[in-house]
């Protein structure tokens, strides 16, 4: 099942469908590696990629909330 899921994600159809991916797991389980691989695949399909760790993402969201704006790259 995991192999099939990764193959599906590598096609980037989740981007077309405007879906998000949340990767969770223990330290050292390969979350960053997986996120980078999916980002690489998206770049190869012509998409722009931005990588956030949770602390940075939460700060971006808080800033947007404080300024009552939404950044298109989020």
User: pLDDT by residue (tens digit) across 2-52?
Assistant: 899 989 999 999 999 999 888 899 999 999 999 999 999 999 999 999 888
pTM: 0.73
- Rounded to an integer, the average pLDDT of 46-70 is 87
3-state secondary structure 17-65: CCCCCCCCCCCCCCHHHHHHHHHHHHHHCCCCCCCCCHHHHHHHHHHHH
Whether residue 73 is predicted with pLDDT greater than 70 in this model: the reply is: no
**How far is residue 70 from each of residues 3, 26, 48, 61, measured CA to CA in Å?**
35, 31, 18, 8
- Rounded to an integer, the average pLDDT of 41-68 is 90
């Amino acid at each position: 099942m995991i192999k099939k899921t990764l193959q599906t994600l590598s096609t980037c159809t989740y981007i077309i469908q405007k879906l998000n991916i949340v990767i969770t797991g223990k330290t050292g389980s390969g979350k960053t590696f997986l996120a980078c691989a999916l980002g690489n695949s998206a770049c190869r399909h012509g998409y722009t990629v931005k990588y956030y760790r949770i602390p940075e993402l939460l700060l971006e969201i808080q800033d947007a909330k404080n300024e009552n704006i939404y950044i298109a790259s989020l």
